[in-house]
Structure 1
Amino acid sequence: MNTAPIQRQELFQQLPAEWPEPLLPEIRRQVAAGGRKLVVLDDDPTGTQTVYDVPVLTSWEVEALAAELAADSPVFYILTNSRSLPLAQAQALNQEIGRNLRQAGAEAQRDFAVVSRSDSTLRGHFPGEVEALAAALETDFDATLLIPFFLEGGRYTIHDVHYVAEGEHLIPAAETPFARDAAFGYRSSNLRAWVAEKTGGRVAADQVASISIEDLRIGGPGLVQERLMALAGGRICVVNAASLRDLEVLVAGLLQAEAQGKRFLYRTAASFVQVRAGLAPRPLLTASDLALPEEGGGLFVVGSYVPKTTGQVEVLLRQSGIQGIEVDVAALLDDQRQKVEIARAVDRVNQALDQGADVVLFTSRALVTGPDAEASLAIGRRVSESLVRMVAGLSVRPRYLVAKGGITSSDIATQALGIRRAWVLGQILPGVPVWQAGAESRLPGLAYVVFPGNVGEADALAQIVRKLGR
């Protein structure tokens, strides 16, 4: 059953105190001793929002995977962008990557663990792509751990209910606009009930296991290990968490369980990867960290339609010196008008960048959906493909590039910029990663800001302009 919004501080004060000991040093020791590489399949590029100094691959040939498995970094990402695909295609993609990973692991003689990283607001192909991945890996997983906690985005799981923070309130996830997503909507905020809903009742809510806040904060790593050792047969287990320390306790316990032979598949948001890889928090990036050119204008490309993004665009457009270029989505969906609209936008962006202006290229804000989930995804792909053609058509290099929205940022990275391997530099704002484009890309070395649609305060885009200004 869903609950009403509650005061964040009021609920947090009712919880037990956090586990008193920092566990990251022990986690790093266990990760090094275990020797298992962490491979993150990211269903859009925003999952790198908590890590740094790690590579991201946008293709998954066996040779490339084997090279990354043999490298020193404790973790690497594979950008699948599967959230933009229909279920059948997402499943086929995960099967292909799973098979390639098995072969690459054999060639590199390196064991690995796999994270299926998805949205902290519960949008994505669950359980379909996770089940496809598990089958392709040919591993008898004892359980799939469901961990949507994401600190920077204000996503908390408490008493099995998943919340989204709005100001000082916690809103049950099913009561937010994210739950009304045309492709991935849902009715349940309780994650056990959500699993039952998403599996069509094949997995009943009372069959879903749970690791509680009390387990983490009172029982500690030992109790977590005990809980995980009891899981078997591919069971689904919800993990509650309200802080990074909670995740530290979880990871310390699960590494001990894995050392004793247990195998888990992880379906998580971004915070889990940071802790599982043993990465300590790092300060936000500054302009000096990015070695930006002195001249030129920045380019913002906005495809996301969530209300948070629309509000951020409105604030950004009110900043002095910003040139806004709106793209008519109706024209992009019309075969007779699409080409002309793309050419118009390219010409205007080139002119503005050539004059050194910061430019916002954004789609018209009225959301256009289809009659069903697959049709809505197809519309999203058409719009994203059009934005890709606009960026690919630019003749003036931007000083930096910000892409707003998961599908948008993935397609621009892989198709417009031709990135095959990028390096995650860190975060420019909480939950907002910056990539450095690889030497093979169309704009080598470009600072590419991957901005999730559902992250940031109202002035977040404007903050980037101020931080990266000359």
Structure 2
Amino acid sequence: MPLPRHALAEPELLAGLPPVREVTPTEVAAHLTRAPRLAVLDDDPTGTQTVKDVPVLTTWTVEDLRWALRQNSPAFFVLTNTRSLSPQDAAARNREITHALHEAAAAENIPYVIASRGDSTLRGHFPLETDVLSEELTKAGAAPDGVVLVPAYIEAGRLTIDSTHWMRTPEGLLPVGESEFAKDATFGYTSSTLPDWVEEKTKGRIPADKVHRITLTDLRTGGPAHVATQLTALRDGATAVVDAVCDDDLRVLALAVAEAEAADTRLLYRVGPSFVRARAGQPAHPPLTAAELTPLRAPSPHGLIVVGSHVSLTTRQLTHLRTTTPDLAEYELDVARLLDPATRDSHIEEIAATAAAALQHADTVIRTTRTVVTAADPDESLAISRSVSAALVEAVRLITAAQRPAFVIAKGGITSSDTATHGLEIRRAWARGTLLPGIVSLWQPVDGPAAGIPYIVFAGNVGGDTALADALALLRSAA
């Protein structure tokens, strides 16, 4: 089958690259003993899917942040959910978290650096979030010398080569600017080359030729010391973009970052999921086994699957789940009825009651209509998404109050964030690992009504067509 016009066969694109410079996670971990704590402000919950045994917060009081800082972990996540917010609200939330983090770190006497975790397909509030964080850090006397962009997500096939960002598809590697994600109603863009993307998203404030490029040649041939020199040369919040094709590339960067930070270079990061694992000194962990999952399952016979994502991959995964799992119960929240104030509440209550009853005898799917409803204005489209997500979350809250599930799977970034914070009222949790290699994170809530119910965070844009069915099969095997 011929490749689409701009897709390239992966071996063709990777041919001729410098040989990989191997760096072990242990080597990185050894350099992190005196490194500042990495606080990952995650714009949806899916950034945790590359790490294991890392604290997660969905709230950010000073006491919550002090709890996270006290844990024996080189990094922790704060779920901001800003991708679902308006620019104004996203800015306010970043400011609020930064203030609380600064106070918590001072109280615990633990230094920190911030990584603003965005989507590996380049969606989200950039440059707004890094601009706001830079302003707040500057007020605190820690003005960033540089903003480092590392969007790679290795397992999901989001790779950066010669400063161009690619995504793996069945047809080959596609420039991300030509993907369906680049057509996002709220966060759309056209550029695949990161310096051009920075210029596009900053509306020319940062020209492409002023963006510093750290390439695979720098990482693999120059090595950590060379890259550290590039980082320490950054001034006045300059932007640098970094290549990565494998974990070793990111571990070279992690060593360079440790060296640069030790030399008092202040860096702010905008990253995809894979950087966090490298910077934490963790290896790529295998998925959790049925034996490891068994003690995590709640003592209930069946689980709840919540589907809010509308990307085509999610729809294909849901279709495959239906065809391979005949004993599944499934209920739809009709978006048209949700957007009508006259029918919204009664529709939510009806579907929730029916789904709660079904949980007693079957794993149960609750989903929104597959047709996406948008508006001409990006902010209005985001408002519609928030309204639909709120309805889905209210249904989850009603379902789980009536019938405690063995587990909850949430499909989609906004869906998984809102379900965690509002549907299940999770405040503190541990990311315990994944159900599939490098994707689909399992959280263990440690407080609130969801304590004891494993919560599975499943991004809308990851996995093959069978991934949702595979995740459910693994959870069933742990019963």
TM-score range for the pair, normalised by the shorter chain length = over 0.9
The 5 A counterparts of 1:367-446 are: 367-394=372-399, 395-430=402-437, 431-439=439-447, 441-446=448-453
Instruction: Establish whether residue 300 from structure 1 lines up as the match of residue 308 from structure 2.
Output: no
Question: Aligned letter for 1:59?
Answer: T
Q: Which residue of 2 aligns with 1:339?
A: 345
For residue 69 of structure 1, report the CA deviation from its aligned partner: 2.0
Instruction: Establish whether residue 252 from structure 1 lines up as the match of residue 258 from structure 2.
Output: no
**Is the 1:8–1:168 Cα contact (8 Å) retained in structure 2?**
no
Instruction: Establish whether residue 316 from structure 1 lines up as the match of residue 308 from structure 2.
Output: no
The 5 A counterparts of 1:212-291 are: 212-290=215-293, 291=295
For residue 71 of structure 1, report the CA deviation from its aligned partner: 3.1
For residue 331 of structure 1, report the CA deviation from its aligned partner: 0.6
Q: Which residue of 2 aligns with 1:462?
A: 469
Instruction: Give unmatched runs, 5+ long, in structure 2.
Output: none
**Is the 1:187–1:194 Cα contact (8 Å) retained in structure 2?**
yes
Distance in 2 separating the partners of 1:417 and 1:70: 24
Question: Aligned letter for 2:195?
Answer: R
Question: Aligned letter for 1:160?
Answer: S
Aligned length: 464
Question: Aligned letter for 2:41?
Answer: L
Distance in 1 separating the partners of 2:32 and 2:64: 23
**Is the 1:62–1:104 Cα contact (8 Å) retained in structure 2?**
yes
Instruction: Give unmatched runs, 5+ long, in structure 1.
Output: none
The 5 A counterparts of 1:129-140 are: 129-138=129-138, 139-140=142-143
The 5 A counterparts of 1:70-81 are: 70-81=70-81
TM-superposition CA deviations, 1:426-450 (whole Å, max 9, x none): 00113110001223x2132101100
The 5 A counterparts of 1:114-133 are: 114-133=114-133
**Is the 1:67–1:108 Cα contact (8 Å) retained in structure 2?**
no
Percent of aligned positions with the same letter in both sequences?
45
**Is the 1:286–1:468 Cα contact (8 Å) retained in structure 2?**
no
Distance in 1 separating the partners of 2:242 and 2:473: 38
TM-superposition CA deviations, 1:241-291 (whole Å, max 9, x none): 111110011111121111111111000000000010111222201232122
The 5 A counterparts of 1:54-203 are: 54-138=54-138, 139-167=142-170, 169-203=172-206
**Is the 2:7–2:171 Cα contact (8 Å) retained in structure 1?**
no
Question: Aligned letter for 2:444?
Answer: Q
For residue 137 of structure 1, report the CA deviation from its aligned partner: 2.0
TM-superposition CA deviations, 1:44-82 (whole Å, max 9, x none): 011101111111111111122123223322111111000
TM-superposition CA deviations, 1:305-329 (whole Å, max 9, x none): 1111111111111122111212211
SS in 1 for 2:50: coil
Distance in 1 separating the partners of 2:34 and 2:91: 33
For residue 110 of structure 1, report the CA deviation from its aligned partner: 1.1
Question: Aligned letter for 1:446?
Answer: I
Distance in 1 separating the partners of 2:109 and 2:310: 44
Structure 1 pair 456–26 and aligned structure 2 pair: CA distance change class (3 A): same
Of 294-303 and 225-234, deviating more is 294-303
Distance in 2 separating the partners of 1:112 and 1:102: 9
SS in 2 for 1:102: helix
Instruction: Establish whether residue 52 from structure 1 lines up as the match of residue 59 from structure 2.
Output: no
Q: Which residue of 1 aligns with 2:460?
A: 453
Distance in 2 separating the partners of 1:438 and 1:66: 16
**Is the 2:298–2:452 Cα contact (8 Å) retained in structure 1?**
no
Question: Following superposition, which runs of at least 4 residues in structure 1 exceed 3 angstroms of deviation?
Answer: none
SS in 2 for 1:183: coil
**Is the 1:142–1:233 Cα contact (8 Å) retained in structure 2?**
yes
Distance in 1 separating the partners of 2:68 and 2:329: 41
Question: Aligned letter for 2:341?
Answer: D
Q: Which residue of 1 aligns with 2:364?
A: 359
Distance in 2 separating the partners of 1:65 and 1:377: 29
Q: Which residue of 1 aligns with 2:8?
A: 6
For residue 299 of structure 1, report the CA deviation from its aligned partner: 1.0
**Is the 2:298–2:454 Cα contact (8 Å) retained in structure 1?**
no
TM-superposition CA deviations, 1:11-40 (whole Å, max 9, x none): 112211101x32422211111133x11111
For residue 295 of structure 1, report the CA deviation from its aligned partner: 4.5
RMSD across aligned C-alpha pairs, in angstroms? 1.3
Question: Aligned letter for 2:16?
Answer: Q
Distance in 1 separating the partners of 2:171 and 2:83: 30
For residue 294 of structure 1, report the CA deviation from its aligned partner: 6.1
Question: Aligned letter for 2:58?
Answer: T
SS in 2 for 1:162: strand
Structure 1 pair 392–166 and aligned structure 2 pair: CA distance change class (3 A): same
SS in 2 for 1:26: helix
SS in 2 for 1:283: coil
SS in 2 for 1:422: strand
Distance in 2 separating the partners of 1:89 and 1:57: 19
SS in 1 for 2:78: strand
